[in-house]
Amino acid sequence: MTDTVLSVRSLQVEFASRRGTLRAIDGVSFDIAKGEVLGVVGESGAGKSVTGLAVIGLIDPPGRIAGGEIHLAGTRIDNLPPEEMRRVRGKRIGMIFQDPLTSLNPLYKIGDQIVETIRTHLNLSELAARRRAIDLLAEVGIPAPEKRIDGYPHEFSGGMRQRVVIALAICAEPELIIADEPTTALDVSVQAQIISLIKRLGRDHGTAVMLVTHDMGVIAEASDRVAVMYAGRVAEIGPVQAVVKNPLHPYAKGLMGAIPTLAGEDKRLVQIPGSMPRLSAIPRGCSFNPRCAFAFDRCRVERPEPLAQGAQSVACHLYDNAPAESAA
């Protein structure tokens, strides 16, 4: 693909702890194309947010990127010096965090915060930056932006604050937006608005979006492709329709089965037995094997590598027929 914006290859993130090094991300690879929305789902602790933070270079010690490469529009960014990486943040990658109530500095007018960010990255005068800030607020759907620009964060509702956060994330026209659970803290009715806003911005500006969430509804609604993460690895990745309708990985199947639907209400929800392993106790072989109904001997010994299955890619031995045939 020539218009790949973000390319992550075999990313590893480690956290040094008292009980040894914990590997939070272990060999994650994916691409996001221009204008594409990649949804990243998984349980809490699966490594979704850490992946996002690794891309934008905000993994704080004791954590560190231990291996792999991250490329942004062809340039490698995971090994940039701190000052150059700072210039990438906000300018080429915008980030939206989970809680809009705490993402904005309560002591500064929102306009000041936007102007500050614009002037950090673009060579604009105070006045031009302010005009741009008003345009941005209008674009993210804040009514009467020329008046609201002088408001303080506490004068905005949660949904409106998330719009301000989005305006801040896109104020320097980034090539990539990382949205880390952007709707989790919001009312359901507001969630849909924010999702369609992010989708529209991605489409209008050709921005690639990495949408991290544990809400399958948000993924189905917003993303083009979806990556299912489990215990620091990508279990399955593919076009959203295919993964939702026809999940291949047993974990993805379990995840889709656990979504309540308004239609088939008589259907029992399927639970995935057990819980995700702690980072200090990831099982040998496939990390999902203790909870997997289809696990066989090989799953307990050998780690499955991603296999292409049509448009999807799945890391599961069930789909690896070659060694079985050769053994026969």
**Applying CB under 8 A, which of residues 146, 155, 173, 204 lies at the interface with another protein?**
155
The nearer residue to another protein, 55 or 228, going by C-beta atoms, is 55
Residue from 28, 70, 95, 235 touching another protein (CB under 8 A): that is: 95
Would you count residue 117 as binding another protein (CB under 8 A)?
A: yes
31 binds another protein (CB under 8 A): no
Dist. CA 235–CA 41, nearest whole Å? 10
- Of 40 and 165, the one with the shorter C-beta distance to another protein is 165
Q: In whole angstroms, how large is the CA radius of gyration of the chain?
A: 21
188 binds another protein (CB under 8 A): no
Quote the least distance from Cβ 293 to another protein, whole Å. Answer: 39
106 scored as a contact of another protein (CB under 8 A) = yes
Per-residue DSSP letters for 117-181? HHHHHS---HHHHHHHHHHHHHHTT-SSHHHHTT--GGGS-HHHHHHHHHHHHTTT--SEEEEES
What are the φ and ψ backbone dihedral angles of 31, each rounded to 5 degrees?
A: -125, 150
Angle (deg, nearest 10), helices 110-121 and 158-169: 10
Binding of residue 97 to another protein (CB under 8 A) = yes
Interatomic CA distance for residues 257 and 259, integer angstroms: 6
Q: Whole-angstrom distance between the N-terminal and C-terminal Cα of the chain?
A: 38
Minimum CB separation of residue 102 from another protein in Å reads 4
Contacts with another protein in 53-92 (CB under 8 A)? 56, 58, 86-91
Please name the helix (run of DSSP H) or strand (run of DSSP E) that holds residue 105, with its range, or none.
none
Strand partners, 236: 228, 314
| 163: contact with another protein by CB under 8 A | no
- Cβ proximity to another protein: between 140 and 216 the closer is 140
Please identify which residue in 69, 99, 221, 320 interacts with another protein, judged by CB under 8 A: 99
89: left (phi over 0), alpha (psi -120 to 50) or beta: beta
Is residue 107 at the binding interface for another protein, with CB under 8 A as the rule? Answer: yes
Does position 150 bind another protein by CB under 8 A?
A: no
Q: Residue 95 forms beta bridges with which residues?
A: 178
168 interacts with another protein by CB under 8 A: yes
Closest CB to another protein among 104 and 276?
A: 104
- How far apart CA 203 and CA 208 sit, in angstroms, is 9
Q: Binders of another protein: how many residues, by CB under 8 A? A: 31
Q: Token digits for 77?
A: 């960014």
Choose between 113 and 312: whose C-beta lies nearer to another protein.
113
Residues making contact with another protein (CB under 8 A)? 56, 58, 86-91, 94-95, 97, 99, 102-109, 116-117, 120-121, 152, 154-155, 165, 168-169, 172
